[in-house]
């Protein structure tokens, strides 16, 4: 799976793939980890890095919930990911585009 070079777009693409699939697609966690590294290297605002790290954590919760058959945990993780996606979109709209 290939993602945009623009960090904002790449994060949103990962979230879109995760939220439209029954399970996180292969490579989603690796993509987020790579994006976190890119954000840190680019000295991105701490809030952006924190949200990207939250995506990683929620992906873990989603995978754990799905693997254990815990529908509530998986649903909670998806809800958190939707919330993060909305916040991430607000960064883009606010014009704080960061391309790395």
What is the pLDDT, as a whole number, of residue 6?
Answer: 79
pLDDT of residue 100: 47
Is residue 29 within 8 Å of residue 56, measured between CB atoms?
Answer: yes
69: left (phi over 0), alpha (psi -120 to 50) or beta: left
Q: How many CA atoms lie within 13 A of 52 on its CB side?
A: 27
Confidence (pLDDT) at 48: 87
Which pLDDT value is given to residue 86?
Answer: 87
Tokens of 61: 């919760």
Residue from 100, 98, 56 nearest 81 by CA: 56
- What are the mean pLDDT values of the chain's consecutive 10-residue runs (100 residues total)? 68 87 88 92 89 95 96 95 86 53
pTM for the whole thing? 0.83
């Amino acid at each position: 799976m290939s993602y945009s070079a623009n960090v904002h777009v790449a994060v949103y693409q990962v979230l879109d793939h995760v939220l439209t699939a029954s399970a996180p697609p292969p490579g989603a966690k690796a993509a987020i980890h790579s994006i976190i590294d890119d954000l840190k290297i680019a000295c991105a605002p701490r809030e952006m890095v924190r949200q990207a790290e939250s995506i990683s954590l929620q992906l873990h919760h989603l995978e754990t919930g799905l693997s254990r058959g815990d529908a509530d945990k998986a649903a909670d993780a998806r809800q958190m990911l939707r919330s993060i996606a909305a916040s991430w979109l607000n960064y883009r709209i606010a014009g704080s585009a960061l391309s790395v």
